[in-house]
Structure 1
């Protein structure tokens, strides 16, 4: 799971268009690819054990004065009479909290790669006010919002829906197989009765283990012969080392298909060597993972190019407060956002170009509005 896909199974999903993937080889050389480092000795290379007794290293709890300042910023913004999607740092003033949020922003982009902001009570605010608070606080982490589908949906509501096999397979997971965004953010409006933890792992740690023990796997991941089927057919690497940064971007569903999204038989499949590489990544990620128990009102920020993430299975209760509801967004920061390799630029451009459609649903989308398409289309 690199970057995006969040499923109930313990699977970490990772992240040149052509008629086929012509650079495939029967056996890869043993050493690291040219230009790839022997080790990444950086804060983004961590293990979950480091944070077991140090939650305050990544959970930033809003104080009463912080909440008061955020509510004042909300009133200031509403007095301007602007649409909610126009909230930004310059019209959502946080003079005391803002500099601390900027530290989280820098940590997400260049430190450990993730952070949680805690303390909002969703029951205290209307849905509209809660959304503006989320957008206003979020604007201090990244200043640009990305579309999450061709229809231009900016807010995606992740809720369980068992009314059909297709919806169950769609809504219980991240609603897009590959997230085109430097940062993935979500606000938890309500949690399930049990389960649903956010589970993350460092791609940098995975890399260091593989570089020391299985450099041939690094070579396999870095080859341009991975046959992605979604959102379009494309042969490209899973793993990149670009301008001094390691990046990973993949999902098993776009590569292998699923019962809900069957893969077209006309497309090339992954090789046994590639399957072995994905399994190695997931095994290391699971061994080094961090589990984060989520509370209603939590705002998560994940560096989607460097952090592998999934979610624990969950069971909803009968009460509305016991039914899991996340609101997810794709973000990019103009100052700190990473320069991307050519293979990833098209999807990012489609998500963040200014002239595309933008649709903002503060409640779950009308039935059928979000494209529930198969990979074969």
Structure 2
């Protein structure tokens, strides 16, 4: 963590707009959840048949290869909500049981390609991930979120969009909660203005061994960045487990007591029923969230080690579209600490983390 700066002495302005919300304000699921129509389902089935007819490889599928004439327009509107609105949405009704895991994976990938560009989730180049227990605990430095049955505290993922398709839900637990990062930011300003400047300081995040040879084992970034100046849209990066496990490296600056106070406050606010929104995800639900603007958490899972009760979700990390076809004309791009396959010579622009307006 860097030393005292002028930003620490000057309180940052609070965030405003639709990205600032609380769970009680969104208690009605009708505000953020939609159900696929019969027409939309028919388009998905048609697109799936087309991929089979052309014998297309899943990971090479583009949005054009998975045509959704009507549903595509709905996804375009959803993208606007993700980038410029509350930052998340749930689409209910994908028939995962009828489709089976293989076809459901193709549908998930096809829908995701209409929202963004898939980027690697680990240093082996995995782009279509599975969220299920591998027996590792959160205390394992190499453990990754989603590969344990333990509870996951509020955090963000190092990407633009996180998409999750629920294939099976566990017998008990595994409930997902969301919180507005901007609302948490504002709460820190209100409750502990003396800590607010630390949100904008630079910290070290443990990469959990997901880095190529020769790359540093930690990413260096502030918890909060603002687009277009101090009053602009907020982008938050927060994962306390990675912040604290980075302390295992001798070269990483030591966290100060005030940093731990800040982390405690962020965790307390994010987990409060006054701020968080608890979701009831079912098989066939597609959750998409903007990880700049929304933090997520999950309760511990009890699956009894039986396949029918095993928690199982598909996961995509997506980068916002960029370039001539982008919905956003600002092109304000900052390369994040990309997770790229081992042996790749240089970061790719498609893995850039763009801070949305």
Where structure 2 has 5 or more consecutive residues not aligned to the other structure, the ranges are 209-216, 342-346, 352-357
User: Residues 271 and 167 of structure 1: is their aligned pair in 2 closer, same or farther, counting only changes over 3 Å?
Assistant: closer
Query: In 2, distance between residues paired with 1:59 and 1:348?
Result: 31
1:130 aligns with 2:104: yes
| Structure 1 position 43 matched with structure 2 position 18 | yes
CA 1:339 to 1:283, structure 2 compared with 1: closer, same or farther past 3 Å? farther
Q: How far has the Cα of 1:127 moved from its partner?
A: 2.4
Task: Provide Cα deviations, 1:148-173, integer angstroms capped at 9, x if missing partner.
Answer: 11110112212113389959955117
Q: Does 1:270 align with 2:247?
A: no
What are the Cα deviations for residues 41-95 of structure 1, in whole angstroms up to 9, with x where unaligned?
A: 211100000121x202111111223212210111122222221112222121212
Kept in 1, the 8 Å contact 2:235–2:293? The answer is: yes
Taking the aligned partners of 2:220 and 2:140, their CA distance within structure 1 comes to 27
1-structure distance, mates of 2:350, 2:181: 33
Q: Show structure 1 runs of 5+ residues with no match.
A: 1-20, 357-377
Supply the distance in 2 between the matched residues of 1:268 and 1:163 (Cα, whole angstroms).
27
Contact 2:8 2:198 survives alignment (8 Å)? no
Match for 2:164 among 176, 186, 204? 186
Instruction: From the superposition, tell whether residues 227 and 341 of structure 1 become closer, same or farther in structure 2 (CA, over 3 Å).
Output: farther
Residues 206 and 160 of structure 1: CA distance in aligned 2, closer, same or farther (over 3 Å): same
Normalized against structure 1, the TM-score is what? 0.76
Cα deviation, residue 145, structure 1: 0.5
| In 2, Cα distance between equivalents of 1:99 and 1:120 | 17
- Once the two structures are TM-superposed, the CA of residue 353 in structure 1 deviates from its matched residue by 2.3
Partner of 2:227: 242
The equivalent of 1:371 in structure 2 is: none
Structure 2 Cα separation of the partners of residues 66 and 190 of structure 1: 22
The one-character-per-residue Cα deviations of 1:214-242 (angstroms, maximum 9, x if unpaired) are 33322011012x23332523443211113
Cα distance change, pair 40–71 in 1 and its aligned pair in 2 (3 A)? same
Paired residue total: 321
- In 1, Cα distance between equivalents of 2:143 and 2:158: 21
What's the Cα RMSD here? 3.0
Distance apart, 1:198 and its partner CA: 0.9
Name the SS for the 1:310 alignment partner.
Answer: strand
The question of 1:117 aligning with 2:105 is answered no
C-alpha offsets along residues 107-134 of structure 1, whole Å, 9 cap, x if unaligned? 0111100011110122211322111111
| SS of 2:296 mapped into structure 1 | strand
Choose which of 27, 30, 33 in structure 2 pairs with 1:59.
33
- Pick from 205, 221, 241 the counterpart of residue 253 of structure 1: 241
Q: What's the TM-score, normalizing by structure 2?
A: 0.80
2:129 is equivalent to residue 139 of structure 1: no
Which residue, 312, 326, 330 being the options, matches 2:317? 330
Which residue does the alignment assign to 2:190? Answer: 212
Counterparts in 2 of 1:156 and 1:119: CA distance versus 1, 3 Å: same
2:207 corresponds to which residue? 230
TM-superposed deviation, 1:300: 1.1
Q: Tell me the SS of whatever aligns to 2:122.
A: coil
User: Alpha carbons of 1:272 and 1:340: their partners in 2 closer, same or farther (altered >3 Å)?
Assistant: farther
